[in-house]
Amino acid sequence: MADEKITTTGIAAHGASRLASVEIDTFNIELKDDEGFLGDRASKGAFRDILEKWRKPMRKSGEDPFGKEPTENISKKLLDTVLVGDDAEASAVVHSAIEDFAQELAHVTRRFLKTKAWQKTERIVVGGGFRDSQLGELAIARTEIILKAEDFKIEMLPIRHHPDDAGLIGALHLAPSWIFEGHDSILAVDIGGTNIRCGVIETRSKKSPDLSKASVWKSEQWRHADDGQSREDAVKRLVKMLGDLVAKADKDGFKLAPFIGIACPGVIGSDGSIEKGAQNLPGNWESSKFNLPASLVEAIPQIGEHDTAIVMHNDGVVQGLSEVPFMRDVKRWGVLTIGTGLGNARFTNRNGNGKGER
């Protein structure tokens, strides 16, 4: 019986490499050097380490502009304020950290571009929580300049949507276009190492058949990292959040498609299992006895009058998919998501998209 549930959760394979709009050439590459995983050099934690390095000499002379505040507690909002503030020394410390981080991000990006799967990449969008700040945008722009100075023909841009929204909106592109017929919205889930976020995504397909105007109508978030709950409790909480959103959408007259798109860390098997990379989630999500899509179908067997279908993919991939409508002018493009680690995916447009196929 469990096997039947697993095979009926989706209308496409989970973690698929071919979707309606793009081929996913690679995702979740774990490049290494002598110091360990390269992604660790371009994460949110890496930026904090660099900022701490620049504070140390100021601290020794008693001139640390941030006083005794631990580096990990300094908010992105404060750092953005300092960047344009009147305190020249404080601004210089943050600019120095941005420059060092950009050099690290350029080094990591360079390594990706030299892999076979990332060859001929024309554009990279950068998402993740770090992007949601002025310092993040400056670091991305500086990285592009560094790479162009080395004759890499590459654009690097901040992801268009707020990273929280991008991780939900991208789920639209996991579904085949026919599933939207007669429906104007879907449920989406973004599972991260700190938060689980669910949302109702308006397709707005009448205004934009390419889904470029899609948006998050309503969302809920649970910070599971603070609660220390089990995997089973996390699934129950997720089911409740989805149920609440279904009720709210129904009350407001939305026509939800019988589809849930899920973004999840790690390597996703075609049956919906998580092969590796889920170590930051509550409990053991890589167990052979656990299958999230099957658990959700069992708890939410129908949406409206139709059987629920679920497709799950890597969270970096899904965040990147939110950019599909805006990548028509290139053929090969990628995404890097700067968070706890460095998510990554490379895409090739299908259906005649891109300069090379016009």
DSSP states of 316-338? HHHHHHTTGGG-TT-SEEEEEEE
Bigger pLDDT: 110 vs 282: 110
Cα distance between residue 329 and residue 352, in whole Å? 11
What is the four-CA torsion angle of 43, 47, 48, 52, rounded to 10 degrees?
150
- Model pLDDT, residue 339: 86
Output the six-digit token pair for 105.
Answer: 């991000």
Q: Return the biggest CA–CA distance within the chain.
A: 69
pLDDT at 48: 96
Give the global pTM: 0.91
SS3 label, residue 263: strand
The answer to whether residues 199 and 219 touch, using CB atoms and an 8 Å cutoff, is yes
Neighbours of 33 (CB within 10 A): 11
| Residue 9: band (very low, low, confident or very high) from pLDDT cuts 50, 70, 90 | low
* 182-206 per-position pLDDT tens digit: 999 999 999 988 889 999 999 999 9
- Residue 229 pLDDT greater than 80, yes or no: no
* Paired tokens of 32: 């290494």
Look at residue 102 in the predicted model and tell me its pLDDT.
97
Residues 139/132, Cβ–Cβ less than 8 Å = no
